[in-house]
Amino acid sequence: MPPNHIRKFIYLLCFISFSSILAQTEVETEAENESETIEMPKEITGSYLTFNILAPIALETPRYRLGYILPLGGKWMAGVDVGYGDESSTVSILDRIEREDYNLYEFRAEIYYQLPVARNSIHYLSLEAGYLNHQEVLISDFYKEETEGIRISYDSANYERIRSALTLKYGAFFDLWDQVGLNVYYGIGIRRRNNNFTNIVAPIPEVSSNDEPNPQFQIEDEFRFGEGYFRQEGISYGFNFQLGFKLYYNFK
């Protein structure tokens, strides 16, 4: 190969090599810049102590509910909630039926999975299993019998509602201050409710023994939405909806 051609070939080789190095450097710089701008999900740090804001002002079943959430490592957390309310410590906002000796306790266990959402807050999906026991004495009302659906009025009756539920929830932890924040969530699931009426005083069925209307049955039927809580005897299944707000303290 003539010297001029050799010289041109060396120049071309050097140019190609320099161009390749420059291009590779630009690609690496862009990748580093992109990685610096990508927001990562907030890291789970420490456990949480929670207080449910809406539970004390629940219309007919007020209670106080405290919870504790523990990180399990990685994206997982587990928590428990315990609630209690009675006639002396809570105030019922809505009383559609006269009642006394109100008492309620509940227990909820929940497993959390953090979602890969690039935010300054922790977003999660969770599965909650809950148990609730609600007891009180109902005055001068009626209930619907489980087998025949016959209404039976009474002067008073001991009422017990047992509910169990399984709920899928979505929520987030929003920091308000350094270690204090708000947990907002909503969910949908299934529930099983069992209503029992015992120690019934002066029961009067709406029909007599010959299936005729009983003139002693004086209660007017004003069965409205939601009163299955207090007037439907036996076991029933349905959807369980949740919308909640909890104040929390994060033990970082």
**Domain contains 11:** no
- Can you name the residues that pair with 69 across neighbouring β-strands? 48, 79
Q: Which domain holds residue 166?
A: 39-251
pTM for this model (two decimals):
0.79
**% of the chain beyond a pLDDT of 90:** 54
DSSP state letter for 55: G
With 0-12 / 13-18 / 19 or more C-beta atoms within 10 angstroms meaning exposed / middle / buried, residue 62 is: buried
Q: What is the pLDDT of residues 44-58, one digit of tens each?
A: 889 999 999 999 998
Query: Beta-strand (E) ranges in 13-147?
Result: 47-52, 64-73, 76-86, 99-114, 122-144
What's the number of domains the chain is made of? 1
**Domain contains 10:** no
**% of the chain beyond a pLDDT of 70:** 76
**Domain contains 23:** no
Per the rule left: phi > 0, alpha: psi between -120 and 50, beta: everything else, 156 is: beta
Q: How confident is the model at residue 39 (pLDDT cuts 50, 70, 90)?
A: low
Q: What is the pLDDT of residues 9-34, one digit of tens each?
A: 444 445 444 444 444 444 444 444 44
**Domain contains 18:** no
Name which of 135-139, 165-169, 176-180, 213-217 the model is least confident about: 213-217
Interatomic CA distance for residues 160 and 138, integer angstroms: 10
CATH number, domain of 80, equals 2.40.160.20
Q: What is the pLDDT of residues 148-173, one digit of tens each?
A: 888 899 999 999 999 999 999 999 99
With 0-12 / 13-18 / 19 or more C-beta atoms within 10 angstroms meaning exposed / middle / buried, residue 32 is: exposed
**Domain contains 98:** yes
**Domain contains 9:** no
Q: What is the pLDDT of residues 221-249, one digit of tens each?
A: 555 555 677 889 999 999 999 999 999 99
**Domain contains 21:** no
**Domain contains 120:** yes
Instruction: Please say whether the beta carbons of 70 and 78 come within 8 A.
Output: yes
Sign of CA dihedral 108, 114, 117, 120: positive
Q: What is the pLDDT of residues 202-224, one digit of tens each?
A: 998 887 666 666 766 666 655 55
Closest to 126 (Cα-Cα) out of 62, 40, 39, 48: 48
Looking at per-residue pLDDT, the higher value among 183 and 226 belongs to 183
